[in-house]
Amino acid sequence: MNQEAQPKLKYFLYARKSSEQEDRQVLSIDSQKSELETLAKREKVQIVNLLEESYSAKAPGRKIFNEMMRRIEKGEANGILTWHPNRLSRNSMDTGYLVYLMDQNKLLQIQTPGQAFKNTPNDKFLLNLLCSQAKLENDNKGIDVKRGLRRKVELGWHPGPAPTGYLNTPDKQKGFKTIRKDSKMFPIIRKMFDMVLSGTYTAPRVHEIAVNQWGFKKLARSGFYRVLYNPFYYGWFEWPQGSGNWHKGKHEPMITREEYDRVQALLGRGSKPKPETHTFAYTGMIRCGECGAMITAENKTKRNKNGNVHYYTYYHCTKQKGPCGQKCIEVKELERQVTSTLARVRPPQEFHDWAMKWLQNENGREADDRNAILANQQKNYEACVHKLDALIDMRSAGEISEEEFTRKKSTVNQEKSKLHELLNDTDNRVDSWLQTADNILRFASDAQESFTERGQHARKVILSALGSNLLLKDKNISIDADSALLPLILVSNSKEENLGTFEPLKNRSRKQKSVAFGDANPMWLRGQDSNL
């Protein structure tokens, strides 16, 4: 019985290279083509078309591959010349497509430099086996990568690219790579946070300064806000993203948790602030005393008939909450009123000296209370450690699932970290509030002069430090001075009303000093942190 003559073989030359990890040991596309063209000349193989693409074969959907298969179905070619079967398929669907075309006698042969796969049961089985082996390798690599990422997270290192201000360590051995500070960018990103935290710069203004003055032309607005919203900068990260599992990182935090929370509050807890079109010293700080809306500002120009031009800046209600009968106030009058208030918080040097000594004495009296608080915080911290131990025991005994263990461990770790910060904070806070008190006193002594002589930015800083709940009504600004400054107003007023009774500390009896500063003492007590 005569065998039916086989049709002449016509081939597509197909070369593929993926940029992913699966193809690190594979020849480049140019190298594949060179080897296959040499093979075609040696074996006198007819090549209909040369096809190439850079795309992973882990999943179906390759454009060039699918086009080649459709052309084979149409009869344009009946063979494929490729470097290895894994160049054609690493997934079950594409492998089945190849075998199906062989079953239909439309694909008669797949030729590689080392082997030919003909349309026979054994060759199709072997082809299927090699492609399935490539899929198995891919699946195992995926499992290994996930296992490696989990291990890295457990060690406290964020997987993936480091955020701006930090660098990955490509110089270290694989599996030991970490995240370190970027010596150039770290202080700059920290400065951005500081500017937002100051309350005198809006986030859009900080971004504008970074782009126009610091030369970060490629820093997009969205990228800038991603920095401000990223918990990584206070030492924590979520992995996987959206899972709710939080991990304490081993990298050096740029800011504290308290600073991060304050930034979020200043940004409206995630909502992007509206960009400013003009920069005014006191916008964003004052509210209308009638309707509660924010006070805005605008520039006005007046041209006289004699040719003189005058420029004015007026502050007025935005009226965003409805009709409001308040009139505008010129910036010079506004600043005059602020200067008048500053004059009331300028205490004598004698009060400064007395206040610092008094606070140091109070510190001694409160040592026992502070030690009791430290002991209680230490007790809570140890309880957290016991919770972690109990969770580990429950997981080891199979009483809870891995997912539940991870979730609960993340929650307890955050609580443990917060308690650790409280312990350190309580221990160090005494020096902190003594320094704060000294700064307040020095600020009060120099504020009026600085407000009058310095520029717009300094004035905004001073007004921000002076007090909160700034209200403008009937062209008068009312300032609810912070509790730390109220005693200074009382002392200054007391000095003006009764100059004869105030003498330097060394010349006055303890009883007389108590009378002179009696009104101020309770305010200083309330100004101290309630945790002490």
Given a cut of 60, whether residue 516 has pLDDT beyond it is no
pLDDT for the residue 26: 63
Q: Is residue 167 part of a domain?
A: no
Give CA–CA dist 195/205, Å, rounded: 9
Q: Is residue 253 part of a domain?
A: yes
Last residue within a domain, chosen from 294, 326, 343: 343
pLDDT classification of 526: cutoffs 50, 70, 90? very low
Range of weakest confidence among 193-207, 327-341, 417-431: 417-431
Given a cut of 50, whether residue 55 has pLDDT beyond it is yes
Range of weakest confidence among 71-80, 142-151, 447-456, 481-490: 481-490
The verdict on 337 and 361 lying in the same domain is no
pLDDT classification of 454: cutoffs 50, 70, 90? low
The verdict on 353 and 339 lying in the same domain is no
The verdict on 391 and 258 lying in the same domain is no
Q: For residue 112, give the nearest of 203, 217, 39, 219 by alpha carbon.
A: 39
Given a cut of 90, whether residue 212 has pLDDT beyond it is no
Last residue within a domain, chosen from 343, 366, 385: 343
Q: Which residue has the higher pLDDT, 240 or 356?
A: 240
Q: Which amino acid is at 129?
A: L
pLDDT for the residue 416: 74
Mean pLDDT of 224-249: 86
pLDDT for the residue 1: 41
What's the number of domains the chain is made of?
4
Mean pLDDT of 109-120: 91
Q: Is residue 72 part of a domain?
A: yes
Long-range interactions of 94-101: CB distance < 8 A, separation 24+ = 94/57, 94/60, 94/62, 94/65, 94/131, 95/127, 95/128, 95/131, 95/132, 95/135, 97/69, 98/69, 98/127, 98/131, 99/124, 99/127, 99/128, 101/69, 101/72, 101/73
**pTM tops 0.85:** no
Mean pLDDT of 353-367: 62
Given a cut of 50, whether residue 361 has pLDDT beyond it is yes
Q: What is the 3-class SS of 391-429, one letter each residue? A: HHHHHHCCCCCHHHHHHHHHHHHHHHHHHHHHHHHHHHH
pLDDT for the residue 523: 37
The verdict on 213 and 246 lying in the same domain is yes
Contact partners, residue 530, CB within 8 Å, separation at least 6: none
Q: What is the mean pLDDT of the chain?
A: 76
Identify any residues that bridge with 478 across adjacent strands, giving them in sequence order. Answer: 471
Last residue within a domain, chosen from 266, 294, 313: 266
pLDDT classification of 398: cutoffs 50, 70, 90? confident
Range of weakest confidence among 205-209, 383-387, 512-516: 512-516
Continuous segment of H or E residues that includes residue 49:
strand 47-53
The verdict on 363 and 464 lying in the same domain is yes
Q: For residue 115, give the nearest of 107, 127, 103, 125 by alpha carbon.
A: 127
Q: What is the CATH number of the domain that holds 96?
A: 3.40.50.1390
The verdict on 377 and 493 lying in the same domain is yes
Q: Is residue 523 part of a domain?
A: yes
Give CA–CA dist 14/11, Å, rounded: 9
Share of the chain above pLDDT 70, in %: 67
Kindly state the tokens that stand for 184. 């150039």
pLDDT for the residue 503: 37
Mean pLDDT of 122-151: 78
pLDDT for the residue 272: 43
Range of weakest confidence among 135-144, 168-177, 216-225, 476-485: 476-485
Q: For residue 72, give the nearest of 149, 17, 7 by alpha carbon.
A: 7
Given a cut of 80, whether residue 395 has pLDDT beyond it is no
The verdict on 74 and 198 lying in the same domain is no
Q: Is residue 168 part of a domain?
A: no
Range of the domain at 105: 11-151
Given a cut of 90, whether residue 65 has pLDDT beyond it is yes
pLDDT classification of 500: cutoffs 50, 70, 90? very low
Continuous segment of H or E residues that includes residue 248:
strand 246-248
pLDDT for the residue 512: 40
pLDDT for the residue 484: 45
Mean pLDDT of 142-171: 79
The verdict on 297 and 412 lying in the same domain is no
Contact partners, residue 243, CB within 8 Å, separation at least 6: none
Identify any residues that bridge with 166 across adjacent strands, giving them in sequence order. Answer: 181
Mean pLDDT of 66-70: 93
Given a cut of 80, whether residue 525 has pLDDT beyond it is no
pLDDT for the residue 480: 62
pLDDT for the residue 518: 37
pLDDT classification of 453: cutoffs 50, 70, 90? low
Q: Which residue has the higher pLDDT, 491 or 501?
A: 491
The verdict on 383 and 506 lying in the same domain is yes
Give CA–CA dist 232/79, Å, rounded: 54
Q: Which residue has the higher pLDDT, 47 or 478?
A: 47
Q: Which residue has the higher pLDDT, 485 or 265?
A: 265
Terminal CA-to-CA distance of the chain, rounded, Å? 105
pLDDT for the residue 77: 93
The verdict on 321 and 357 lying in the same domain is no
pLDDT for the residue 358: 64
Mean pLDDT of 395-400: 79
DSSP 322-387: S---PPPEEHHHHHHHHHHHHHTT---HHHHHHHHHHHHHHHHHTHHHHHHHHHHHHHHHHHHHHH
Give CA–CA dist 29/18, Å, rounded: 9
Q: Is residue 3 part of a domain?
A: no
Q: What is the CATH number of the domain that holds 206?
A: 3.90.1750.20
pLDDT for the residue 369: 59
pLDDT classification of 423: cutoffs 50, 70, 90? low
Q: Is residue 353 part of a domain?
A: yes
pLDDT for the residue 135: 78
Contact partners, residue 384, CB within 8 Å, separation at least 6: 412, 415, 416, 419
Share of the chain above pLDDT 90, in %: 19
pLDDT classification of 8: cutoffs 50, 70, 90? confident
Range of weakest confidence among 69-83, 223-237, 410-424: 410-424
The verdict on 219 and 119 lying in the same domain is no
CB 155 within 8 Å of CB 251: no
Q: Is residue 277 part of a domain?
A: no
The verdict on 358 and 329 lying in the same domain is no
